[in-house]
Chain A
Amino acid sequence: MTDDVPAELPASIDATLALLDAGGYVADRALATVLHLSLRMGRPLFLEGEAGVGKTEIAKVLATTLGRDLIRLQCYEGLDISAAVYEWNYAAQMVEIRVAEASGDTDHATLSRSIFDERFLIKRPVLKALEPSLKGPPVFLIDELDRADEAFEAFLLEVLSDNQVTIPELGTIRAAEPPIVILTTNRTREIHDALKRRCLYHWVDYPDAERELAIVRRKVPGAADRLTAEIVAFVQRLRASEDLFKQPGVAETLDWATALTELNELALDPDMASDTLGVLLKYQDDIERVRGSRLRQIVEDIRKEGARDLGQRPAGGA
């Protein structure tokens, strides 16, 4: 894929899966289906899920594999129009006023027309996303929308349904081709129904063991096979049977695999695992609950179960 020619949008669900795979993203069919639909129908995709399951990553991978620009709007409380859409370059406008005064041209209407000219417009992510681009419409990532307040959410309605924004001084700016919009939220706040209605919705869940294994192999290629398998089995067990306040996400699994590989571990050693548990779990209660005998027990269990599957693997060598 060259930089200048954007890739075609995938024509089928399988093509979408392949596209994500080419970008190093191991997706399940459900996600590929909804993504394919959203690309075909030109509707924004609303991704919800726990932190660290790879929601933001989807937008990044999509931008890379489709050869589009990625425009990212990180949401936060108090995000307003001037930070998200546009702002005027006040200093330059002031200079323009002074110049007009000096030249004796003080006609009110002319002045305000020349002041609110596109030359003085500073474009922020939303406006940039609506601009035409040689590479084709960009991927517009609206990240962690739940952190922005309701006022901003209401503002987004116009952008999402009509692909346009209104600037009082300039008029309505409308995208010739709608951008590929991906919204993510961690559910720290419920998003209004009106906004959800304009999007296709998908809940991004933790991956199953097979897919998580594929992800770790792909992202941490240096990790020993046996370590990878045991880490994934361990994390899957934690999510399924331990009652944790914050379950580890895929991002944490990857961090843990990287950390233990850095420490030259070839298999999951209970002592070493206990010492590095903070990479995986982020709450003291959770660490206390798992650390020690409980952890030893889980490692023992997965060794017993894994002996059969792992025995077939040459690198396993148990």
Chain B
Amino acid sequence: MTTAAPATTDAERRGRMVENIVHFARTLRRAGLPAGPATVVDAVRAVEVNGIESRDDLYWTLHALFVQKREHRVLFDEAFRIYWQSRGLIEKMLAILSPVAPPRGAPEKAKAGQTRVSQAFQAARERRETLAEQPEVEVDARFTVSGRELLQAKDFAQMTAAEIAEAKAALRAMRIPKDLILHRRRVAAPRGQIDPRRTLRASLRAGGAIIDLKHRARQEKLPPIVALCDISGSMSQYSRILLHFLHGMTETRRDVHTFLFGTRLTNVTRSLRMKDPDEALEACSAGVADWSGGTRIATALHLFNRHWSRRVLSGGPTVLLITDGLERETDEDLAREMDRLHRSCRRLIWLNPLLRFDGFEPKARGIRAMLPHVDEFRAVHSLEAVTDLVKALSGTGNTDAKVDPRAWLGGR
């Protein structure tokens, strides 16, 4: 490999260079960067104009064309490292026709986006891994919850591209919910109250002769959403996917607050505001000490009620409580904290992945203590269930008796 590349004609070299850039752009596109054909043409031209003397030249030339947002830099950097990694770029580039080039040196700790990029290289392999086919957690998961607190920050960034694609699909399915509520602020509207300020301005335009009444009406806004997400061992595989869902929601709505709880409670709202999903989830996991540890729902709810409920539950929010309800120590505290939470929000929806089992019965004491205090009891194990949830949030198709918590309790 270190010997000079066999002599090739200029036209050939150019053809290879174009081919490589096209491949590279395709890879970027798969990893989630908007690299359109026009950008590729520009990139080829730019490389020709600039001439490539060093690795940095190539890096910044391509960077200038393919990176259009700050959060794309991580992905671009990773893709570039893998694709153009060797020195003597033009010559080696000819040799490396296979887009799958293993990273050199000892495997480091994976960076955010690395999985996504490396999987984008192998997109040919069909991976249709649905959530439903994942290994299922037994109903008796409460016995697997280890007593000791697992104070380890589990690496979040290693989600597979397939999982992300599916989470994204769920987000795409989400329509702007029709759960608009009226704001006190008034804005210009075709009818409603008379707006003297705009009326006078408009009439002055005609020298004060014509009075054309302008109106204003109360603005509509989306109510806040607060998500409390269980990240204990029995829940972690669902939490990871649902965090993507919450990340998408944080992007599209103004008022979305997310909390993670295991043995302690962590507010990850700020982390989820980062644009790139991998960066955001990595920031979340960095801030959480008890990933995949045990769970104390009553304690977590108590902390939330005490320290956060007044701060995030103003404005009549919908609360999504994501947990399997398998509580180690169940006492009257759990019911009391649930009751308090229920009374301080507009709608409390419990999302429980255990509901995916056909024969699910709310036998666990924790679940029985919590059920009377929720408005809806829903499954979240599959994309289908998430879609149902989105529909419910939009206020359509919500009269399903299956989600009524009383139906679950009544049978027993």
Residues of A at the B interface (CB closer than 8 Å) are: 76-80, 82, 87-88, 90, 93-94, 97, 100-101, 106, 108, 111-112, 115, 146, 149-151, 186-190, 243, 245, 285
Contacts and interface: CB of A to CB of B under 8 A. Distances in A.
A241 to B, nearest CB: 15
Contacts of B39: none
21 contacts: A77-B183, A77-B315, A78-B184, A80-B185, A80-B186, A87-B197, A88-B196, A90-B200, A106-B207, A108-B207, A111-B204, A111-B207, A111-B208, A115-B204, A115-B208, A146-B314, A149-B185, A151-B185, A186-B310, A188-B310, A243-B306
Given A88-B200, A151-B185, A285-B340, A187 B208 contact: no
A150 B254 CA distance: 10
Nearest to A188: B314
Nearest to B310: A188
Given A77-B315, A115-B204, 12 more contacts: A77-B183, A77-B184, A78-B185, A82-B197, A90-B197, A115-B208, A149-B184, A150-B254, A189-B312, A189-B314, A245-B305, A285-B336
B311 interface: yes
Interface residues of B, number: 23
Contacts of B401: none
Contact of A101 (B209, B306, B310): B209
B342 to A, nearest CB: 13
A189 B317 CA distance: 13
A171 B102 CA distance: 64
Nearest to A89: B196
Nearest to A91: B196
A285 B254 CA distance: 33
Nearest to A283: B340
Contacts of B185: 77-78, 80, 149, 151
Contacts, number: 63
A88 B204 contact: no
B29 to A, nearest CB: 35
Contacts of A101: 208-209
A100 B204 CA distance: 12
Given A101-B208, A108-B207, A90 B196 contact: yes
A245 B200 CA distance: 51
Ranked nearest first, the 6 interchain pairs of A and B with the lowest CB-CB distance are: A78-B184, A97-B208, A90-B196, A78-B185, A77-B184, A188-B314
A97 B209 CA distance: 9
Interface in B205-223: 207-209
A198 to B, nearest CB: 20
B253 to A, nearest CB: 13
Given A188-B311, A245-B306, A112 B186 contact: no
Interface string B181-198: 001111000000000110
B340 to A, nearest CB: 7
Nearest to A50: B310
B185 to A, nearest CB: 4
B131 to A, nearest CB: 34
A93 B183 contact: no
Given A78-B184, A93-B200, A189 B311 contact: yes
B183 A149 contact: yes
Interface in B318-346: 336, 340
B315 to A, nearest CB: 8
Nearest to B208: A97
Contacts of B200: 88, 90, 93-94, 115
Nearest to B196: A90
A90 B208 CA distance: 12
A149 B254 CA distance: 12
B197 A76 contact: no
Interface string B162-202: 00000000000000000000011110000000001101100
A108 B185 CA distance: 32
Contacts of B315: 77
B232 to A, nearest CB: 24
Contacts of B306: 243, 245
Contacts of A76: 184
A189 B310 CA distance: 8
A131 B375 CA distance: 53
- The residue among B203, B208, B315 with the most chain A CB atoms within 10 A of its own CB is B208
A165 B310 CA distance: 32
Given A187-B310, A189-B311, A88 B197 contact: yes
